[in-house]
Structure 1
Amino acid sequence: MKRTLEERLQDGPVVCGEGYLFELERRGYLQAGSFVPEVALDNPQALKQTYRDYMLAGSDVVLAFTYNGHREKMRIIGKEDLLEPLNRQAIRLAKEVAQEHPEEEALVAGNVSNTNLFNPEDDDSKAAVREIFREMTGWCREEGVDFVNGETFYYYEEAKIALEEIQKQGLPAVITLGLMSENILRDGYTVEEACRLLEEQGALVVGMNCFRGPATMQPYIEKIREEVNGYVGALPIPYRTTEEHPTFFNLPDGGCSCSLPTETTFPTSLDPLYCNRYELAEWAKEAKETGVNYFGLCCGASPSMLREVAETVGRETVNSTYSPDMKKHFLFGTDETLQQHNTKYRTKA
């Protein structure tokens, strides 16, 4: 039998592949802007392959791609009638891929996220948010997920509502918060205070995801680790955010010579601002030493980046056989059988 999330956390680091939103847009199957996961219905094989790529790169979890697949987003694009089919299909595809794992069946996680509807001063919005989470977590239970990932909440109270609705379904909860540039959640809680409260209320894993790259997320992860007793999750974006620009929403590109169709590099012009895989490995090493238990990368991540993180925290992945090995490269290799008239030019190429 496959181990539960809690059993895996007890045994060591757990890796969760995320970042489908940007990856599927990059592959040509999702529209930037609305960022609704219609791919589950329009191109199910593309979604399955994406799930598969992240799983083989080291993810212990196949996260059902229902991020932004909630009633408010579906209303905006005029497709509320597809809400339930989309959610159920995304989970069913995730389950199919999870069963393909050649070593141990991967966990399947349902997914709820920030609704962009929550208003702390509007009780009607709170009721609407609760209903969104109620129906989505209900489909998660009916489809047999192993746990539910609630993510990218920038209001503590919205995260709390999500946790309550997950618990009503009898499912374990991973709750991660998205911290914008104010460095505090929008309803006034510090991220570490919110994580402590969510842990006290029964979340299995608490932490942060999205918005911030390793450099501007890690200091807050350390605060969370000091504040909570249980499992901590960290899933940054793979971009070079800075203290001046702590999120990717307003990250500048000083080297761009063309005019952009958007006000900022977000979301379709971030390419030159990536961390490389070795920077991500350095972060993963630091995060592990901090005491992080649940690792991943969020928007912008590729499978090769995730594999680097997984290997850094001590995992050999299915696709580690394809990890870089430059010994036989014609120019930079060290194999004695290489043509030396090529290797002597390695510093001049």
Structure 2
Amino acid sequence: MPDPLRQLLASRDWLMADGATGTNLFNMGLPSNMAPELWNGDRPDAVRRLYRDAVEAGADLFLTNTFGGNASRLNLHGAAHRVRELNRAGAEMAREVADAAGRTVVVAGNIGPTGEIMVPMGSLSHPRAVEMFHEQAEALKEGGADVLWVETISSEQEFRAAAEAAQRADMPWCGMMSFDTIGRTIMGVTSAQLSALVERLPNPPLAYGANCGVGAADLLRTVRDFVASGNERPLVAKGNAGIPHLEAGHLHYDGTPEIMADYAVLARDLGVRIIGGCCGTTSAHLRAMREALERRPAGPRPSLEEIAAKLGGFTSVGGY
């Protein structure tokens, strides 16, 4: 049987994904030095609330609280031995919330980067990266995730390792990189290189795109490059709610719900199929995005000037 995400993509012009995980859990009291995944065991009530808030705001797809749930990142908190437990718990709670929604809602098993640098620049080998991603993928599958959601990747090597892990787990997947350094990832990958890479993989993702970065305008500039590449695979855009600013020791994002509503419509008009928010995006932003997507008629593909005018301009010039 086709997976739920594939079915929704076949029947809908656009889908709305969820918003931030860390931002919203921090707002619920998560300490800044604590791995969010630990709350899957310690504060399941808060994690369920995170999930429900996204669904009630209109999300068709939401991510599990497992972004840093691989052995390498959990090892920083003395919890490498809890990979299966924490990922499975995060997915099981998500499955419960999705099944209670009264409509089709996709549970996306969230997989972030390992936090290590792969060879030859670093010491992380391909087999070890695949092993870590696969361990996480199998736990998310056990917990009931519909699809694996690989995001914020910066290198082709790590993207390939995650793709291989998804194949080993026999799971559909989506893959995103974060373009935050003058149109490139921190490891130098361009949007054109990612568009080409996904088609060379033995098991291409259902959808690919960009998340996080430095602002919604910059992310949509990257999306325009995906479109220009000619790759017709469904696109994902999950941009931050504006730019973060440090105020009284805390990060605050300057993107209002109104700005994120404009971002969502611009993304749709660019041809993005899965539209969500990343850092700073709350349920208030999501509600505004959903309303705008449903009420505003589709328009022509926006220019860079139109994107900049509505979203506050780009943080960099050149490099694209």
TM-score calculated relative to the size of structure 1: 0.78
Q: Equivalents in 1 of 2:295, 2:4: separation in Å? A: 18
Residues 116-155 of structure 1 correspond to what in structure 2 (within 5 A)?
116-121=115-120, 122=122, 124-155=124-155
Structure-2 residue corresponding to 1:291: 271
Q: Equivalents in 1 of 2:257, 2:184: separation in Å? A: 29
Give the counterpart letter for 1:312 in structure 2.
Answer: A
Alignment of 1:190 onto 2:190: yes
Structure-2 residue corresponding to 1:70: 70
2:205 equivalent among 179, 203, 206: 203
> How much has 1:211 moved relative to structure 2?
2.4
> How much has 1:214 moved relative to structure 2?
1.0
Q: Equivalents in 1 of 2:60, 2:2: separation in Å? A: 11
Give the counterpart letter for 1:275 in structure 2.
Answer: G
Aligned CA distance change for structure 1 residues 215 and 97 (closer, same or farther; 3 Å): same
Aligned CA distance change for structure 1 residues 159 and 41 (closer, same or farther; 3 Å): same
Alignment of 1:39 onto 2:53: no
Q: Equivalents in 1 of 2:173, 2:115: separation in Å? A: 21
Q: Which moved more, 1:88-97 or 1:140-149?
A: 140-149
SS at match of 1:38: helix
Unaligned runs of 5+ in 1: 241-247, 262-267, 317-349
Contact in 2 for aligned 1:58/1:315 (Cα 8 Å): no
2:239 equivalent among 232, 236, 239: 236
Q: Equivalents in 2 of 1:113, 1:42: separation in Å? A: 21
Q: Equivalents in 2 of 1:275, 1:221: separation in Å? A: 19
Give the counterpart letter for 1:223 in structure 2.
Answer: D
Structure-2 residue corresponding to 1:221: 223
Structure-2 residue corresponding to 1:212: 214
> How much has 1:191 moved relative to structure 2?
2.1
Residues 1-349 of structure 1 correspond to what in structure 2 (within 5 A)?
4-10=4-10, 11-28=12-29, 30-102=30-102, 104-121=103-120, 122=122, 124-201=124-201, 202-227=204-229, 228-240=231-243, 248=244, 261=249, 268=250, 270-271=251-252, 273-314=253-294
Q: Equivalents in 1 of 2:276, 2:192: separation in Å? A: 19
SS at match of 2:262: helix
Deviations 1:139-179 (A, max 9, x none): 22233321110001111221121112112222111101111
TM-score calculated relative to the size of structure 2: 0.84
Aligned-residue Cα RMSD (Å) equals 2.2
Structure-2 residue corresponding to 1:322: none
Report the count of equivalent residues: 291
Give the counterpart letter for 1:179 in structure 2.
Answer: F
> How much has 1:212 moved relative to structure 2?
2.4
Contact in 2 for aligned 1:19/1:297 (Cα 8 Å): yes
Aligned CA distance change for structure 1 residues 205 and 192 (closer, same or farther; 3 Å): same
Aligned CA distance change for structure 1 residues 80 and 3 (closer, same or farther; 3 Å): closer
Q: Which moved more, 1:5-14 or 1:227-236?
A: 5-14
